[in-house]
Structure 1
């Protein structure tokens, strides 16, 4: 583990071109006696689209919440662009970083939640421009232009003055995606973004995300039970169980010929017995 001065030198130079954008080093998360993540080590490189799959309670969403700093790890270290996110090692001790440091790094990260979390008292446009204006301090004209472009991208250019309550669930989730992208994040976290939607409108939201994946180099870390979407968008899939990664593979290999018995049983339950090959 680098010492604090080494980490500061790395931060000043910027992360190496091939360095991970997100890195977990021996990360643990506990709630009392309940171990949610257990010595987790993995990394995500720039432009990767990494999908986390596994049964409920396996720790997938917790990973996203830790990266978004909505929660803190109990132990271990998380790095974004080579910089410690919430804690660093200093003189052999795990030391919490100050709020200013957390906020600066968190601005590189956007997240779209299961629930849309839009501000009900604001219009669609106001929801999108709020953070770029007041958190990033970008010029209003620039923010408005970008917001208009994003509304076009998600197919809601005619809804700028509408309030969230007048929109369908799929439309609200598309606004939430536009709001996350308005911060121009380097990393986009997606937490079961279709789970609160009616089945007939799931496709429209997944289509927007496929387009974003195809047209940008944004790094994505996503949790989903939509396995076809994971197969289409991801370049890596990680299977979680009991707070650990038990298998990692490219989508085609993971979904057609998983090697771990727990992965096989999970995917058979999700996809059907005849969809999973054997080795």
Structure 2
């Protein structure tokens, strides 16, 4: 199955064109278990695509491939028109710069201030000047509502605040694609809403391409242009959120949504 991740009404001319993410015939195995099974799909530029499905269905593995934390056994992965897999080590490193990811865990540098957490990679990896990186970091901290905390270290922040710093840090690299992997799963329930509100604002106010794995179905319905239902390493149903959540075609999709909604 090769799902069309464009909305039913066609491409929005205000959004950028192209396909920042394309997977072709991608297979990934862990031992005898096939996690991705000849997977084909692409994401149009500026679209927000959410992957849903049961645990172990292959959703997070896709993000790990795009982050180069794993390699496919078969098939090709392309980001912004450039080959990510298979490719040379140098090519992989260059393409990887176009991808940002926010993990379940915050993965902040505990010995650095919030500001330094945002500026370190742009300076050392992208070669930005320290002044330009700090200006960008201050703008992003304002976006996520943490300007007053820029001089603190992660241990002085709540879990929700740390995750907002992690979101800002990913955006500081000006990625073409932002990957979100269950970004609220490690948070206390009362902190989830604030993080999701930040992501909603980013989805609505920027043209960044977003690929999201989440069990927060209301959030998925709210921000997504397209929802892909995964089961046993394949996309079994794809469509706009109103269709997937309102009138799913597959029994497996209805069964899954009945369990999580």
Q: TM-score range by the shorter chain?
A: over 0.9
1:96-107 equivalent positions in 2, closer than 5 A? 97-107=87-97
Q: Which residue matches 1:83?
A: 82
Secondary structure of the residue aligned to 2:259 is helix
Give the gaps of 5 or more residues in structure 1.
Answer: 1-16, 88-96, 272-279
Cα separation, 2, equivalents of 1:40 and 1:218: 24
Q: CA deviation at 1:84?
A: 1.1
Are positions 1:245 and 2:244 aligned together? no
Higher-Rg structure is 1
Secondary structure of the residue aligned to 1:29 is strand
Cα separation, 1, equivalents of 2:121 and 2:92: 16
Secondary structure of the residue aligned to 1:131 is helix
Are positions 1:173 and 2:170 aligned together? no
1:1-279 equivalent positions in 2, closer than 5 A? 18-87=17-86, 97-271=87-261
Secondary structure of the residue aligned to 1:217 is coil
Secondary structure of the residue aligned to 2:132 is helix
Secondary structure of the residue aligned to 1:203 is helix
Residues 60-80 of structure 1 show CA distances to partners (whole Å, capped at 9, x for unaligned) of 000001011111011100111
Cα separation, 2, equivalents of 1:19 and 1:201: 35
Q: 1:193 to 1:81 in 2, by over 3 A?
A: same
Cα separation, 2, equivalents of 1:156 and 1:81: 31
Q: CA deviation at 1:86?
A: 2.1
Q: Which residue matches 1:11?
A: none
Cα separation, 1, equivalents of 2:102 and 2:164: 10
Give the gaps of 5 or more residues in structure 2.
Answer: 1-15
Cα separation, 2, equivalents of 1:99 and 1:26: 22
Residues 203-260 of structure 1 show CA distances to partners (whole Å, capped at 9, x for unaligned) of 1000000100111000000000011110110000000000000000100010011110
Q: CA deviation at 1:45?
A: 0.7
Q: CA deviation at 1:99?
A: 1.6
Cα separation, 1, equivalents of 2:18 and 2:81: 7
Residues 119-152 of structure 1 show CA distances to partners (whole Å, capped at 9, x for unaligned) of 1111111111010010111011111101011111
